[in-house]
Structure 1
């Protein structure tokens, strides 16, 4: 049986990844630090670990000795994550984690990257052709880790798949991204201040993000792989679907917030590698994912 370690297992993506790995028959070990274990707890091995402490990481890897690693842990809540000093700490900590993983026999790794690693330009962002960014500490540190990991993997025989995740949404979201902010504001009957809303972005439901990561860990793919829907949607259209499903007539103020002059109107994920090489396909339409998300937030805001 393959033994997989999921860092950040109690986080937004991690809880879904751990659950799907269990369904696939993996021996799943997951880490958490300050957040609580998901309730009801999944039937996997939980480890409370500070991944920024190299001694704790060494002890964890020695104890678990995983064959596979899905590295999700990082400071990743926007907008503060883009400029946080802890990005630099996570580069060092991730290198130490991966070295210990290899030293104890680990062979396969999937790392959660982000579309924020790219220089955004109008069109579909591509793993091979789109330039990478160094404009924020987040982008710089993610790309630095990826560059180091590519070189290190060649010397130690490690399979590395770097998953660049685009815009995700769904239950348990932090509440600071577009879809969750829209839903919670309408539930609270608050006015919603937006940009003009004509920009298109690539959104993927959280369960589909997790299924893509599980698909990648089970595959033989290496290198960078975009994780997205491949179907960018205008923000105004997403808002209209949310309003229709909620039966909401609250006013949305389009154009109340200026859109930065250098922000492109159309940004999509080129997902040819994910679809044709990993044989992945989404399980949710945008409408179905929004229905699940709205239902969760109704209960969350009520409580």
Structure 2
């Protein structure tokens, strides 16, 4: 049985990744900081480990005890917008290097790292792994790109397969409520004022279950290097909002243009997903409409419980 360690296993992406790995027959070990979750939709059991991944001694002990063959590294400072400028990004570079070194020293062979489209210099068009310039404008972008550069060199010397997944915009149940789609849904459910930018910008959104499925596909593949994870179909924010309103039966007004859009932010940003679809043979299971139905239902339940 293939043994995999998932860092950040109780996080938004991690909870879906661990469930899919269990379905695929992996022996799954996952880390958490505060609260463990239950993968009740499967008969298999995830082995949970409460670990501070910024503590190198604790990480050394974890890897020695688990002896994983695969590592899916999701843990990082990842809640926008504060994550982009957090000083913790610098700590995660060192911690991630130590984690990966201990993993290799204990026989690990395959690593999938979660990055994001924020590592790119945003420009109008589809962002591609090999041709789009990388950013160093924020601590997040600089630290992620620094880790990837180090890891590329390190992997060549130790024979490690590394797949770096750059995830674009995601949405779905269990999100913290800070991103565009969840903010629109929760504001409409609570009958709060909805303030937005002009909404004419197009962005690439992918449902959380599809994001998890793509990460597991990359872990099970032989792909290495950078791979974008997205839908490949950017959609204007105004259109997404109108679909949400239609599905919710809401006639509430959305105040477009109430929030200024940064002057340097492009109007069209999409993910070039040729590597993901052609080399990993992956395709999404959810349409935008289907994903939004699931997301709205989950948030409706959350809001009703709070009332």
Q: TM-score normalised by the shorter chain: which range applies?
A: over 0.9
> Whole-Å Cα distance in 1 between the matches of residues 260 and 59 of structure 2?
44
**Secondary structure of the residue that 2:71 maps to in structure 1?**
strand
Q: Is the 8 A contact 1:186 1:192 kept in 2?
A: yes
Residue aligning to 2:34: 34
After TM superposition, list the pairs within 5 Å mapping 1:229-268 onto structure 2: 229-268=231-270
> Whole-Å Cα distance in 2 between the matches of residues 165 and 235 of structure 1?
18
> Whole-Å Cα distance in 2 between the matches of residues 20 and 257 of structure 1?
38
Residue aligning to 2:195: 193
Q: CA shift at 1:293, angstroms? A: 0.1
> Whole-Å Cα distance in 2 between the matches of residues 84 and 301 of structure 1?
30
Q: CA shift at 1:38, angstroms? A: 4.1
Residue aligning to 1:284: 286
Residue aligning to 2:63: 61
Q: Is the 8 A contact 2:39 2:46 kept in 1?
A: no
Name which of 256, 280, 298 aligns with 1:296.
Answer: 298
Q: Is the 8 A contact 2:124 2:266 kept in 1?
A: yes
Residue aligning to 1:17: 17
> Whole-Å Cα distance in 2 between the matches of residues 90 and 40 of structure 1?
31
After TM superposition, list the pairs within 5 Å mapping 1:39-58 onto structure 2: 40=40, 43-58=45-60
> Whole-Å Cα distance in 2 between the matches of residues 139 and 261 of structure 1?
20
Q: Is the 8 A contact 1:11 1:35 kept in 2?
A: no
Name which of 79, 82, 90 aligns with 1:80.
Answer: 82
> Whole-Å Cα distance in 1 between the matches of residues 278 and 37 of structure 2?
35
Residue aligning to 1:116: 118
Residues 141-184 of structure 1 show CA distances to partners (whole Å, capped at 9, x for unaligned) of 00000000000000000000000000000000010000000000
Residue aligning to 2:97: 95
CA RMSD of aligned residues (A): 0.9
Residue aligning to 1:4: 4
Corresponding residue pairs, total: 303
**Secondary structure of the residue that 2:142 maps to in structure 1?**
helix
TM-score by length of 2: 0.97
TM-score by length of 1: 0.99
Gap regions ≥5 residues in structure 1: none
Q: Is the 8 A contact 1:10 1:38 kept in 2?
A: no
Q: CA shift at 1:99, angstroms? A: 0.1
> Whole-Å Cα distance in 2 between the matches of residues 81 and 40 of structure 1?
31
